[in-house]
C-alpha cells in the first residue's frame, strides 16, 4: 500500500513561522542564530541547549494565586513561617553577567525572567543588559498587571524578545478569582495588546488542573488564541507549592492525551510537545532549568531539588551531572514530577526531610539528587 507519507527531517517539521523567526535572528541577533544552528548540528551528539529560567528578586510577587508552586520560595512565605527574611545572598548583576558568559560559551540562547512577578524587580533593566539581549533571547514571564503599552515599549527597546503572559481562564471572573486579583483579566488583555503593538513575540500561558482540557471554557480559550494568532503554552498544576496536598488538581494521562490531540487542531503546546526537531519528552535538564535567586539550579520549574549552585560551580559541570542522573537525563515520555509516583515520592520525601532542618528550598544536591539516581561512570 502506498500513501503520500513523508519521512521528515527536523528542519521540515519546523513551522513556517519558526523558520521565519530563525531567518530573522540571523539578521537581528547573529550570535543567537549561530548558537541555534550549532545546537541543531550537534544535538545528535548529545549536546543540549536548555532554557535558563531565572527566578529573580527572591520571587517577589504581587499576586496570591491558588495553584502557585513558587510560594515556598517567596520572602513573604518565609517571613510568615519564621518571622525572618531569606538569609541567603542573591545573585548579583555581576553573577548574572558571568552566568550569561558561561551560558553563551555552552551554546545556550534563551533566558526566561520570572519570579514571582519579574517586573517588580527594580534592577531588571540592569539584569537584562547583563544577560545581553544580543547574545540571548530574553523572554519575560509576567502576570500582566503592570505590563502596559509603556512597559512593552521599554522591554522591546531593551532588546527583549518575547513576553509570556499568564491567563488562567477565558472566563474573566474565574481568572480573577483563581488569581485572587480583581481586574487581573482586563490587565492581561491589555498586556497582550501592548506586547503585539510593541512588536514583541508573544505567548499566553495557562495552568490546567485535572479535567479542564475537556471544558467548554478551554475550547473557547483555544479558539481565542487561534483567532489572536497567539500560541497557548499549557502548564500542568503539580502537587508542589500551594498545590501540595491537592491531588484532585493533578492531571491524569487522559488529560495529557487529550491535550496532545488538541495540538493538531490548535496552536497549543506543553513543555513536552515535540520541538526543535526532537520528540516530545520530559525536558528536565535538557530542555529547561530554573535558577533560584541564590544560584541553585533546579532541573524543572516544578521541582524543589537542586543539581548544584552556579555561583559556586561551573554551569557546564552542573548540567553534565544533571544529565547523568537516571531520573533527569535519559529519555522518558511522562512528566516525572506530575505523573511518576515513584519520582514524586522520592522528591517529596527528600523535601520533607530537608524541611525538618531548614526552611529554605530547594533541597541541596548533596542531600537530594546525589542520594538517588547518579549514573555510575562506565
The answer to the question of residue 13 lying near another protein (CB under 8 A) is yes
Assess 356 for contact with another protein (CB under 8 A): no
1 vs 27, beta carbon nearer another protein: 1
Q: Is 23 in the site for another protein (CB under 8 A)?
A: no
- Angle (deg, nearest 10), helices 315-323 and 93-106: 60
Member of 340, 348, 367, 372 binding another protein (CB under 8 A): 340
Site for another protein contains 211 (CB under 8 A): no
User: Mask: binding to another protein, 228-267, rule CB under 8 A, as x and -?
Assistant: -------------------------xx-xxxxxx--x---
**Opening angle at CA 121, ends 116 and 126, nearest 5:** 135
Q: Is 107 in the site for another protein (CB under 8 A)?
A: no
Query: Which of 326, 345, 349, 371: binder of another protein (CB under 8 A)?
Result: 326
Closest CA to 165 of 364, 262, 155, 280: 155
Window contacting another protein (CB under 8 A); options: 36-44, 160-168, 185-193, 240-248: 36-44
Tell which positions 51-90 bind another protein, by CB under 8 A: none
In this structure, what C-alpha cell is assigned to residue 212? 479542564
Q: Of residues 66, 219, 320, 359, which one binds another protein by CB under 8 A?
A: 320
Whole-angstrom Cα distance, residue 53 to residue 289? 6
Cβ nearer to another protein, comparing 123 with 340 = 340
Q: C-alpha grid cell for residue 351?
A: 523535601
**Cα 209–chain centre separation:** 17
DSSP codes of every residue in 204-225: EEEEE-TTGGGSHHHHHHHHHH
**Preceding amide of 316 cis, omega within 30:** no
List 28, 43, 97, 156, residue binding another protein (CB under 8 A):
43
Choosing from 219, 330, 355, 367, the residue that interacts with another protein (CB under 8 A) is 330
Which region among 8-16, 72-80, 204-212, 224-232 touches another protein (by CB under 8 A)? 8-16
Peptide bond into 362 cis (omega under 30): yes
> Which residues, at least 6 apart from 317, have a Cβ–Cβ distance to it below 8 Å?
308
Q: Residue 171, exposed/middle/buried by CB under 10 A (0-12, 13-18, 19+)?
A: middle
- Binding residue for another protein, selected from 129, 228, 277, 344, defined by CB under 8 A: 277
- Within 8 A by CB and 6+ apart from 8, the residues are none
Residues forming the site for another protein (CB under 8 A)? 1-11, 13, 40, 43-48, 253-254, 256-261, 264, 274, 277-280, 320, 323-324, 326, 329-334, 340, 342, 375, 378
Amino acid at each position: 500500500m502506498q500513501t503520500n507519507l513523508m519521512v521528515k527531517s527536523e528542519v521540515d517539521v519546523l513551522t513556517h513561522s519558526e523558520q521565519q523567526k530563525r531567518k530573522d535572528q540571523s539578521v537581528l541577533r547573529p550570535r543567537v542564530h549561530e548558537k541555534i544552528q550549532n545546537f541543531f548540528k550537534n544535538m545528535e551528539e548529545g549536546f543540549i541547549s536548555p532554557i535558563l529560567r531565572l527566578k529573580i528578586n527572591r520571587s517577589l510577587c504581587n499576586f496570591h494565586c491558588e495553584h502557585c508552586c513558587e510560594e515556598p520560595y517567596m520572602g513573604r512565605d518565609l517571613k510568615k513561617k519564621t518571622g525572618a527574611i531569606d538569609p541567603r545572598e542573591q545573585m548579583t548583576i555581576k553573577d548574572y553577567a558571568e552566568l550569561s558568559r558561561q551560558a553563551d560559551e555552552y551554546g545556550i540562547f534563551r533566558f526566561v525572567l520570572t519570579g514571582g512577578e519579574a517586573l517588580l524587580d527594580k534592577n531588571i533593566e540592569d539584569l537584562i543588559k547583563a544577560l545581553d539581549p544580543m547574545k540571548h533571547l530574553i523572554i519575560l514571564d509576567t502576570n500582566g498587571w503592570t505590563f502596559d503599552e509603556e512597559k512593552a515599549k521599554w522591554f522591546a527597546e531593551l532588546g527583549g524578545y518575547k513576553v509570556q503572559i499568564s491567563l488562567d481562564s477565558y472566563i474573566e471572573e474565574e481568572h480573577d478569582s483563581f488569581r485572587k486579583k480583581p481586574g487581573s483579566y482586563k490587565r492581561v488583555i491589555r498586556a497582550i495588546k501592548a506586547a503585539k503593538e510593541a512588536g514583541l513575540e508573544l505567548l499566553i500561558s495557562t495552568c490546567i488542573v485535572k479535567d479542564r482540557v475537556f471544558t467548554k471554557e478551554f475550547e473557547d480559550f483555544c479558539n481565542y488564541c487561534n483567532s489572536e494568532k497567539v500560541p497557548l503554552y499549557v502548564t500542568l498544576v503539580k502537587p508542589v507549592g500551594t498545590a501540595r496536598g491537592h491531588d484532585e488538581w493533578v492531571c491524569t494521562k487522559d488529560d495529557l492525551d487529550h491535550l496532545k490531540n488538541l495540538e493538531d487542531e490548535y496552536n497549543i503546546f506543553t513543555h513536552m510537545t515535540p520541538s526543535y526537531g526532537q520528540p516530545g519528552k520530559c525536558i528536565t535538564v535538557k530542555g529547561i532549568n530554573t535558577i533560584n535567586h541564590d544560584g541553585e539550579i533546579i532541573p524543572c520549574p516544578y521541582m524543589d531539588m537542586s543539581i548544584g549552585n552556579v555561583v559556586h560551580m561551573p554551569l557546564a559541570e552542573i548540567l553534565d551531572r544533571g544529565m547523568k542522573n537516571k531520573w533527569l537525563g535519559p529519555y522518558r515520555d511522562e512528566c516525572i514530577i506530575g505523573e511518576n509516583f515513584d519520582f514524586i515520592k522520592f522528591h517529596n520525601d527528600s523535601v520533607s526531610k530537608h524541611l525538618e532542618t531548614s526552611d529554605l528550598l530547594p533541597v541541596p544536591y548533596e542531600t537530594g539528587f546525589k542520594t538517588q539516581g547518579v549514573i555510575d561512570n562506565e
